[in-house]
Amino acid sequence: MITETKVVPANDTAEPMLQHRHLLGLSTYSREEIELILETARQFREVLYRPIRQVPTLRGVTIVNLFFEPSTRTRISFELAEKRLSASPINFSSSGSSVSKGETLKDTAQNVEAMQIDMVVIRHPSPGAPHFLTQCVDAVVINAGDGAHEHPTQGLLDLLTISDRFESFQGLNISIIGDIKHSRVARSNIHGLTKLGANVTLCGPKTLLPVELDKFLPDSTIRITSSLNEALEGSDVAMALRIQMERQGKNLVPSLREYHEQFGIKVQHLEQHKDLVIMHPGPVNRGVELASDVVDHERAVILNQVTNGVAVRMAVLFLLSGAAKGEG
Ligand code: CP
């Protein structure tokens, strides 16, 4: 596995490229690599507003989107990014496939690869599934969310959205509120934000906060609190996370109504904190993590996050495509 993470030119004349062959998570990506992806995404974002929203950059590159879990934003966004770059996307859902007949992930992936593909985008309920895939196929692998582990392109699109509103991450105060324990979005954001110099506060009920966080990020100065008011005090951005009923298995919050009372962001919080920007990765449970009028508030940038998702995924696909073509 590649552990060194500096950005290197492919040769004397080429553009800078990523040191990694795959995108499995932000934990191993360097600050420079993350900044390169964000800068590349800013350039690709311009394509989305052209009359003809397509460039020939990945013509001839075949990408399979393997989705073993439901998705709206990530799936559509990856497919759109691939089409905007003129790649050839193939979509796969576990439901309706031979997975429902008992085929393993390894066999599924190797059979798909036997049809000559270059890149695989995978969402899977098991943490580590994308990493496992790198050992089964030669294609470049991009993690589109693996269990409660990481969701790196979500973390990157969140970083891009924050950078649209603030000049620098250095010293910026970001609160991540909700189900931290089960959240791959929180993990990718923690890695990305701390690498870029932001201060992170994690807030949620004690049952939804990870135990032994100090072992997860031994050198971090991450603040943890179960008080929403304490988390929001001095925050520039509040990132609310979805309460994941499907992943919790048991009742870790007394009721959704009580959760909203204690941890839901309401208009009164926006009135108290005049510059606070609201983010949410989606899908939102209106009236749970965010009051419905907060979702629609002008300081909520939830739909900007979605737009930035396409640009970030174009950047990731482009920057990793050199490895898919055997360059670099
Ligand atoms: N944010 C996110 O991953 O949404 P989807 O589950 O709809 O892809």
Q: What is the pLDDT of residues 59-91, one digit of tens each?
A: 999 999 999 999 999 999 999 999 999 999 999
What is the CA(144)–ligand 1 centre distance, in A?
9
DSSP three-state, residue 18: coil
pLDDT at 102: 84
Ramachandran angles phi, psi of 265, nearest 5° = -90, 130
What is the CA(282)–ligand 1 centre distance, in A?
6
128 plus 161 within the same structural domain = no
pLDDT at 282: 95
How many domains in the chain? Answer: 2
What is the CA(68)–ligand 1 centre distance, in A?
13
Binned at pLDDT 50, 70 and 90, residue 328 comes out as: low
85 plus 203 within the same structural domain = no
Query: CA-CA distance, 225 to 204, in Å (whole number)?
Result: 7
The DSSP code sequence of 217-266 is STT---EEES-HHHHHTT-SEEEE----HHHH-S--SS-HHHHHHHH-B-
85 plus 192 within the same structural domain = no
Ligand 1, atom 6, lies closest to the CA of 71
Residue 13 lies in a domain: no
The model's pLDDT over 233-275, given as tens digits with 9 standing for 90+, comes to 999 999 999 987 765 556 678 789 999 999 999 999 999 999 9
81 plus 171 within the same structural domain = no
User: Considering the chain, what percentage of its residues have pLDDT values greater than 70?
Assistant: 89
Residue 100 lies in a domain: yes
Ligand 1, atom 5, lies closest to the CA of 71
Could you tell me the two tokens for 223?
């603040």
Indicate the top mutation candidate among 77, 93, 154 to test ligand 1's pocket, ranked by most ligand atoms within 8 A of CB. Answer: 154
Query: How would you class 255 by CB atoms within 10 Å of its CB: exposed for 0-12, middle for 13-18, buried for 19 or more?
Result: exposed
Q: Domain with 256 in it: what CATH number?
A: 3.40.50.1370
Report the pocket of ligand 1 as residue ranges, CB < 6 Å. Answer: 71-75, 145, 151, 154, 281-283
224 plus 93 within the same structural domain = no
228 plus 116 within the same structural domain = no
Residue 5 lies in a domain: no
The model's pLDDT over 213-227, given as tens digits with 9 standing for 90+, comes to 666 665 667 999 999
245 plus 145 within the same structural domain = no
78 plus 178 within the same structural domain = no
Binned at pLDDT 50, 70 and 90, residue 12 comes out as: very low
Residue 21 lies in a domain: no
What is the CA(306)–ligand 1 centre distance, in A?
9
Look up the domain containing 182 and give its range. Answer: 152-306
70 plus 38 within the same structural domain = yes
